[in-house]
Amino acid sequence: MVFNFDSKLMRVLVCIFLLSMVSINTASYALYSGSHTKNKFIYLVKNNKRLSGLTAVVTICFFVYLLYDRIFTNSSDSKGISPIKSVPKKKSSEKEVKFSFNKWKVDCLDLPMYHHVKCDEYGKTALTQKEFERVLNEFFNIIKSSRFVEDSSWINGYSLDQLENTFFVQKLVLPEGSQFAIHADLHSDIHSLIKYLNDLECNGKIEGFKIIDPNFYFVFLGDYSDRGYYGVEVLYTLMRLKIENPERVILLRGNHESLVMNAHYGLKLELNHKFGYETDSFNDFLRLYHFLPVALFVGSKVKCGEVKNFALLCHGGLEPGFNPEELLNDYRDSLFQLIDKLDISWISKNVRNNIRTSIEVTLRKPYKKVIPDIGFRWNDFVDPGVPDGCYLLRNKNRGLAFSRKATEDLLSEYSTDKSKVKLIVSGHQHNGKMLIDMVKNHGIYNAWSDYQWSGVEGEKLSLSGPGSRGCWTMNVAPCSGCGIRKKYNYDTYAVLTLGNKFSDWTLTPRNIEVFKNSN
């Protein structure tokens, strides 16, 4: 048997031994003082100063050790997180402590699904706090060592303080044939996420958490937690993916990647139930969100002098207050830009007047007062069936809903003679008639168009053909509650494949069964 002094059992046994020794000395002294007995045992204990002194010294040293361990070391009982803090390199023999993908997959799929969770199972987790915080710190260390922190990767530079108080966007230009697997809102649905990754592993794109296809990338559109029971597991899985593939996994920031939303819709309570997080630890954890872009502009490489085509991937809708011209026209293929202000003065006069008429006249508010923070996270698209003639609608408690005309106008405004934004793919809008139409069309909807996915596996959708409006919205994962209410049992993702010309770009959706309809 190997004794481990750091184990709780060993500490308890040592405590019992020391307390016993102290009790013997104390009792012996009391008996001797209150009686003139010549009992040899009592006499020896009372007069054996070596035994008493050694017991006292060992007792003091032990409790000093416990105090030092509690204050200065990162024990498994600690609730504090130290983001952007170096994590000691682990010995090779300790690598087995990590969850392998196969073990993690089994543990997660053993958790009860959203609609099967009982009251006494809330707070059940496949994780330990120590492993969660280890991966969180490793995530921050990966960010620290990536191109993200280099001034040359930013337009006009940046600072960490700025990231804590504003948003940023990312541009990525890649060769034709590059593929992006796009997934919309997860909302704590670990079962759908695991089955999604398993599907990609079966198709030779990844091996465990590692991407093995050199032309393959992940893009997640935000809203990873809340509205469910396994936000911690979802975030852990995404961080593992990012750590293994720092440049090939893009985690976008949705409207639920915020303190207010997490406090109101569930993640804060989940972290408290699972790991005992209080406000300070929860706020430290939320620094994760400061390093997630709110939008990604994906483009294909072209010959010198040719126009670059881009797709905009984001959680919500369009943002008229951001001018992407400098970002898209820059020669660098991988680039970030801070959004330090929202200003629609850059937009051409006719479009600007339409926006102002819709917002400032109808709502009697300036644009920046209409949405909670930024349109890439909060805005929507007008539900099909809304009468023509509207330009922008106010979507109460969310943001603005863009009509077909407003969407086409702003995508045109985003474009220049050097770069064209042809497409937007988003999530977020799992409500109203849009949700009904997404379910009807197998989890992905091409707004204002009859050109939809048929549901046939492997079908490649043209993004430039007749009827394609360039505005695709993807549904939320089913085990977030929506699937039960709207009676769909499948998860949806889509693979965007880049071509040299935009006419060669394709979108290939896919459904994965997550649970049986009878459930």
The pLDDT value recorded for residue 373 is: 80
pLDDT range class, residue 361, cuts 50, 70, 90 = low
Q: Average model confidence (pLDDT) for the chain?
A: 82
Q: Average pLDDT of 366-375?
A: 65
The pLDDT value recorded for residue 18 is: 57
pLDDT range class, residue 413, cuts 50, 70, 90 = very high
DSSP designation for 84:
S
Q: Tens of pLDDT along 188-237?
A: 999 999 999 999 999 999 999 999 999 999 999 999 999 999 999 999 99
pLDDT range class, residue 90, cuts 50, 70, 90 = very low
Q: Average pLDDT of 150-158?
A: 89
pLDDT range class, residue 41, cuts 50, 70, 90 = very low
Which letter, b or e, does each residue of 261-295 get, where b requires 16 or more Cβ atoms within 10 Å of its Cβ?
bbeebbbbbbbeebbebeeebbebbbbbbbbbbbb
Torsion sign over Cα 96, 99, 80, 161:
positive
pLDDT at 6 over 60: no
Q: Based on C-alpha coordinates, what's the Rg of the chain? A: 29
The pLDDT value recorded for residue 21 is: 61
Mode of pairing for the β-strands spanning 206-207 and 444-446: unpaired
Q: Where are the domains of the chain?
A: 8-72, 95-513
d(CA 284, CA 278): 10
Picking from 48, 49, 59, 50, the residue whose alpha carbon sits closest to that of residue 21 is: 59
Residue 78 identity (one-letter amino acid): S
The pLDDT value recorded for residue 17 is: 60
Question: Would you state the structure tokens that stand for residue 246, as one six-digit string?
Answer: 């720092």
pLDDT range class, residue 166, cuts 50, 70, 90 = confident
Say how many C-beta atoms besides its own lie within 10 A of residue 225's C-beta. 25
Question: Would you state the structure tokens that stand for residue 453, as one six-digit string?
Answer: 């996915």
3-state helix, strand, coil in the chain (%, to 5): 40, 20, 40
pLDDT range class, residue 14, cuts 50, 70, 90 = low
Q: Tens of pLDDT along 470-480?
A: 899 999 999 98
d(CA 467, CA 460): 15
> Which of 59-68, 266-275, 336-345, 507-516 shows the lowest mean pLDDT across its residues?
59-68
Q: Tens of pLDDT along 324-360?
A: 999 999 999 999 999 988 888 999 999 998 888 877 6
Question: Would you state the structure tokens that stand for residue 361, as one six-digit string?
Answer: 């006249």
CATH 3.60.21.10 given to domain 95-513: yes
The pLDDT value recorded for residue 382 is: 87
Picking from 238, 283, 360, 311, the residue whose alpha carbon sits closest to that of residue 468 is: 311
CB contact at 8 A, 167 and 339: yes
* H or E stretch at 69: helix 49-72
The pLDDT value recorded for residue 122 is: 82
Measured in degrees and rounded to the nearest 5, phi and psi for residue 264 equal -90, -35
CB contact at 8 A, 238 and 139: no
Picking from 508, 384, 506, 496, the residue whose alpha carbon sits closest to that of residue 453 is: 508
Q: Which residue has the higher pLDDT, 451 or 98?
A: 451
